[in-house]
Structure 1
Amino acid sequence: MPQSIHFISIGGSAMHNLALALHQQGYTVTGSDETIYEPSRTRLEKQNLLPAQTGWFPEKIHTGLDAVIAGMHARKDNPELIKALELGLPIYSYPEFIYQLSRQKQRVVIAGSHGKTTIVAMILHVLKHYNREFDFWVGDPIEEFDTTVRLSSTAPLIIIEGDEYASSPIDSRPKFLAFQPHIALISGIAWDHINLYPTWDEYVDQFESLAEAMPKAGILIFDESDDMLDVIGQKERDDITKIPYLAHPSEIVKGETFLITKQGKRVSTKLFGQHNMKNIAGAITVCDRIGITEDMFYEAIPTFTGVSKRLEKIAESTDRTVFRDFAHSPAKVEATTEAVKQQYPDKKLLAVVELQSIDNTNKSFLDKYKETTDAADQVAIFIHPGSADSGEQITTSDIQKAFQKPSLHVFTDSAALQNYLLQERDASHIFLFMSSETFGGLDLSNLAPKLI
């Protein structure tokens, strides 16, 4: 088992968490990076793993290393990576390395364009509720756990969030393939990474490859309501168990969502929205395959509070509520907006969407936002000034044409957006912020109390 590990690009969210986990397991860990932001910097510093200097230092790469782990932010011409190749050292992407450490475990991978983190978090919550021993890897922090990864020598099971991004600078395969799962769940397919997969077919092919790579006696779980995924999931494959699922039956009573069991019982849940009912159905299906019955799941799920920035309630009064959500792609924006409106049908909803990445500021992609915010009463779009793809400037007119929402307002300045929201405070009851970024540095922790 490798004992001395060097991380190229140690400051990344995934990379620094893996570095910390290995350090806690007794590995000798070193690393390099060009820039290291918070919270990675402080967390590495506390464990004496923060590089003394930023930058790349080929002299850190030597034959005494057992392995090198290359992060996605390390380019192919990285001098440390080149040195590692010259020395013939074992080089892994972090998904490959996690696989190496979990080869003797039952590997469960949660994939799909949306819902991955929530499904993983639910499964982990239930396992923890019953004091099961398990390892995990998840893309974003979960409130119940101090780190995003746990790797041990004793846990018989590992739950992994697997995305479709490339594994490393020298391995273009989607990360979820590296894990070689015994059980794979695909939550849905919604094309939202056009910078990586320029066509719909290329994007879908990644999930087809995951289904095709399932081992004999493997279990493929998938959302049956997703037309393309249903085609992939239902395809005949030797010795593969196919388990489709649909949204869990539920009802809303006075603004609270209840799951309806097969026996007709009501089970309280803090989650709401059709997309979350699908997430719950997927989590139940996985749990059933790892020794957690439906009754056990229903006992544990009422105390699951959700995942940060996934329809997270950040402020509330008797009249108003403020939510934030990680939604930014068209499918996620639509699902989140509809979920909130269904939960509060009689209240005026103001949805705020940030268009940030190269994906959703591409002119040819913008029209996919058509009708995605129709459930909202008012809509505000924030876009960074100068946001463009291939030098093509995105204008207010482009955005209004794409969304086709008469009441839509477009902002390029966070102060102007904040002023608008404060002016709308008395006219709106629900404020929904959707972004994978920060609306140009808007301080939601300060703004939210003012809105309620």
Structure 2
Amino acid sequence: MKTHFIAIGGSAMHNLAIALKDKGYQVTGSDDAIFEPSKTRLEKKGILPQEMGWFPEKITPDIDAVILGMHAHQDNPELARAKELGLKIYSYPEFLYEQSKNKTRVVIAGSHGKTTITSMILHVLNFHQKDVDFMVGAQLEGFDCMVKLTQDNDFMVLEGDEYLSSPIDLRSKFLLYQPNIALMSGIAWDHINVFKTFDDYIDQFRKFVASITAGGVLVYNEEDPEVVKVVENAENYFRKIPYKTPEYEINNGKVYLKTEMGDVPLSVFGAHNLLNLEGARHICQQLGIMDEDFYEAIMSFKGASKRLEKVEREDKGILYKDFAHAPSKVKAAVKAFAEQFKNNKKYGFLELHTYSSLNPAFLEQYDHAMDGLEEAVVFYSEDALKIKRMEPISPEFIKEKFKNEKLKVFTNAEDLHAYWNTLDKTDGVYLMMSSGNFGGLDLTK
């Protein structure tokens, strides 16, 4: 099968391209910019475009599938050529469904926790050498590629994202998967550039639940009131399995899960991660993994990339980085950090740089998000606001919305870096929350 990727360099797209190359497909692609690690990984597989840009002549009648990434625009010249030739054009999730429509599809959805839960499930299955197809949005220890597609596997585990499918398909990605087994971890308004109201955002999850196949299974977080409402109001038939935060304790900085089989030591921490773990356990039950086997495997799970991930520093300071940027994720990460390091001085840094996080109307959602930290810092770039054509935001406005008068606010990277360099990183513990890089801050030094 011959496939062509428009915007092959994306974090999700390049993994799918590599998976198809490994499956024996003929793969080509284009992009206007490709960054690391995508560039090196594509180059190793021999599918890195020779030059950057869009080339309509690459789109030939013998292509079986054109896969369109979100990075491309509706007026992309390669897309126009594909339409002109009448080629089949797929969004990323649409193509994944085509690859898995004869398998049992397991879809993990939710505003927060879905990457970690999916990673936990894959870790347990891999530990017990249970082979499945999968797609997950973060690099996981022990896995070379975060997409796997085979002819033979019976199950496919998919991280279900509620964001748009492609520039020409404005459905939420997870609405295309039609799960046989699903999990819903939580609902907290996000992506306000697309979903203008909270109800519009919740409606995507209503549609997701409605897309569960007849007689399917939904594992859901019974501690989230919005999730409960969506599940209770669903009209289609499926089996409902609720889960909640399990009992645990912290001894000498180590988290122990309380189970009928005794205390299980864990390598992750935070109530939200224990809740994620419980959801993963219920999904693994559906895949034939007994609880005893689940606990044996989960002890060695160290977390998904950038999810409360410990950074090895030259000075042995204690520093964790987290992908948290949405309010619910920030609050969960800060709460976990404060609980885990209650006897240490805690520094927390948050970078705001997504469209949603910089929207004045949405900033209300961050109220008290940094409470529990002795030193709290928020960084956003005034240049980023200009690029996004957004109005300036004052540091005073940020403090007001976070309801934290002690908050330190930086609006350019040089000032942030100068403050960072004044800190003794061995004095206290550090939590760095961003989907960016704090203007190029080196967290290892």
Please say if residues 349 and 428 of structure 1, whose CA atoms lie closer than 8 Å, have aligned partners that are also in contact: no
Cα distance in 1 for partners of 2:257, 2:286 equals: 20
Change (3 A) 1:259 1:318: farther
Alignment-mate amino acid for residue 174 of structure 1: S
What is the Cα deviation at residue 426 of structure 1? 7.3
Change (3 A) 1:396 1:28: same
What is the Cα deviation at residue 179 of structure 1? 1.3
Cα distance in 2 for partners of 1:167, 1:372 equals: 30
Change (3 A) 1:317 1:429: farther
Partner residue in 1 for 2:163: 165
Cα distance in 2 for partners of 1:34, 1:318 equals: 39
What is the Cα deviation at residue 414 of structure 1? 3.0
Please say if residues 386 and 394 of structure 1, whose CA atoms lie closer than 8 Å, have aligned partners that are also in contact: no
Cα distance in 2 for partners of 1:391, 1:161 equals: 31
What is the Cα deviation at residue 415 of structure 1? 3.7
Please say if residues 122 and 304 of structure 1, whose CA atoms lie closer than 8 Å, have aligned partners that are also in contact: yes
Alignment-mate amino acid for residue 437 of structure 2: T
Cα distance in 2 for partners of 1:370, 1:317 equals: 34
Partner residue in 2 for 1:224: 222
Secondary structure of the 2:145 match is coil
Cα distance in 2 for partners of 1:32, 1:236 equals: 42
The Cα offsets for residues 326-362 of structure 1, whole Å up to 9 and x where unpaired, read as 1111111111111111111121111111111111111
Secondary structure of the 1:418 match is helix
Partner residue in 2 for 1:139: 137
The Cα offsets for residues 74-97 of structure 1, whole Å up to 9 and x where unpaired, read as 211111111211221111111111
Q: TM-score, normalised by structure 1?
A: 0.94
What is the Cα deviation at residue 386 of structure 1? 3.3
1:343 lines up with 2:356 in the alignment: no
1:54 lines up with 2:52 in the alignment: yes
Please say if residues 319 and 429 of structure 1, whose CA atoms lie closer than 8 Å, have aligned partners that are also in contact: no
1:321 lines up with 2:318 in the alignment: yes
Cα distance in 2 for partners of 1:426, 1:14 equals: 34
Cα distance in 1 for partners of 2:370, 2:24 equals: 50
Cα distance in 2 for partners of 1:445, 1:342 equals: 24
The Cα offsets for residues 164-217 of structure 1, whole Å up to 9 and x where unpaired, read as 111111111111111111111111011121111111011111011000111111
1:371 aligned to which of 368, 372, 380: 368
Cα distance in 1 for partners of 2:187, 2:52 equals: 38
Partner residue in 2 for 1:81: 79
Alignment-mate amino acid for residue 290 of structure 1: L
Cα distance in 1 for partners of 2:321, 2:206 equals: 32
1:418 lines up with 2:411 in the alignment: no
* Unmatched 5+ stretches in structure 2: none
Alignment-mate amino acid for residue 62 of structure 2: G
What is the Cα deviation at residue 317 of structure 1? 10
1:247 lines up with 2:245 in the alignment: yes
Cα distance in 2 for partners of 1:5, 1:427 equals: 51
Secondary structure of the 2:299 match is helix
Q: After alignment, is 229-238 or 294-303 more displaced? A: 229-238
What is the Cα deviation at residue 237 of structure 1? 3.5
Cα distance in 2 for partners of 1:378, 1:241 equals: 46
Please say if residues 220 and 241 of structure 1, whose CA atoms lie closer than 8 Å, have aligned partners that are also in contact: yes
Cα distance in 2 for partners of 1:137, 1:394 equals: 37
Cα distance in 2 for partners of 1:16, 1:379 equals: 36
Alignment-mate amino acid for residue 366 of structure 2: Y
Provide the aligned length of Structure 1 versus Structure 2: 443
Please say if residues 209 and 234 of structure 2, whose CA atoms lie closer than 8 Å, have aligned partners that are also in contact: no
Secondary structure of the 1:374 match is coil
1:305 lines up with 2:302 in the alignment: yes
How do 1:30-429 and structure 2 match up within 5 A?
Answer: 30-261=28-259, 263=260, 265-315=262-312, 320-388=317-385, 390-425=389-424, 428-429=427-428
Please say if residues 317 and 425 of structure 2, whose CA atoms lie closer than 8 Å, have aligned partners that are also in contact: no
Secondary structure of the 2:397 match is helix
Cα distance in 2 for partners of 1:426, 1:133 equals: 42
How do 1:421-440 and structure 2 match up within 5 A?
Answer: 421-425=420-424, 428-440=427-439
Please say if residues 315 and 426 of structure 2, whose CA atoms lie closer than 8 Å, have aligned partners that are also in contact: no
Please say if residues 313 and 443 of structure 2, whose CA atoms lie closer than 8 Å, have aligned partners that are also in contact: no
What is the percentage of aligned positions where both structures have the same residue? Answer: 47
What is the Cα deviation at residue 20 of structure 1? 1.1
Secondary structure of the 2:361 match is helix
What is the Cα deviation at residue 423 of structure 1? 3.1
Alignment-mate amino acid for residue 332 of structure 1: K
Alignment-mate amino acid for residue 288 of structure 1: Q
Please say if residues 387 and 393 of structure 1, whose CA atoms lie closer than 8 Å, have aligned partners that are also in contact: no
Change (3 A) 1:61 1:372: same
Alignment-mate amino acid for residue 329 of structure 1: A
The Cα offsets for residues 282-335 of structure 1, whole Å up to 9 and x where unpaired, read as 000100111011111011111111112111111479995211111111111111
Q: TM-score, normalised by structure 2?
A: 0.96
What is the Cα deviation at residue 60 of structure 1? 1.4
The Cα offsets for residues 211-267 of structure 1, whole Å up to 9 and x where unpaired, read as 011111111111111111111112353431011110121111111111111x26100
The Cα offsets for residues 36-93 of structure 1, whole Å up to 9 and x where unpaired, read as 1112122212222112222112121121111111111121111111121122111111
Cα distance in 1 for partners of 2:23, 2:274 equals: 37
Alignment-mate amino acid for residue 271 of structure 2: Q
Partner residue in 2 for 1:450: none
Please say if residues 333 and 434 of structure 1, whose CA atoms lie closer than 8 Å, have aligned partners that are also in contact: yes
Please say if residues 386 and 393 of structure 1, whose CA atoms lie closer than 8 Å, have aligned partners that are also in contact: no
What is the Cα deviation at residue 427 of structure 1? 9.1
Q: After alignment, is 117-126 or 319-328 more displaced? A: 319-328
Cα distance in 1 for partners of 2:209, 2:324 equals: 26
Change (3 A) 1:427 1:318: closer
Please say if residues 210 and 234 of structure 2, whose CA atoms lie closer than 8 Å, have aligned partners that are also in contact: no
Cα distance in 2 for partners of 1:316, 1:285 equals: 36
Cα distance in 2 for partners of 1:51, 1:393 equals: 39
Secondary structure of the 1:177 match is helix
Please say if residues 58 and 79 of structure 1, whose CA atoms lie closer than 8 Å, have aligned partners that are also in contact: yes
Alignment-mate amino acid for residue 382 of structure 2: P
What is the Cα deviation at residue 385 of structure 1? 2.2
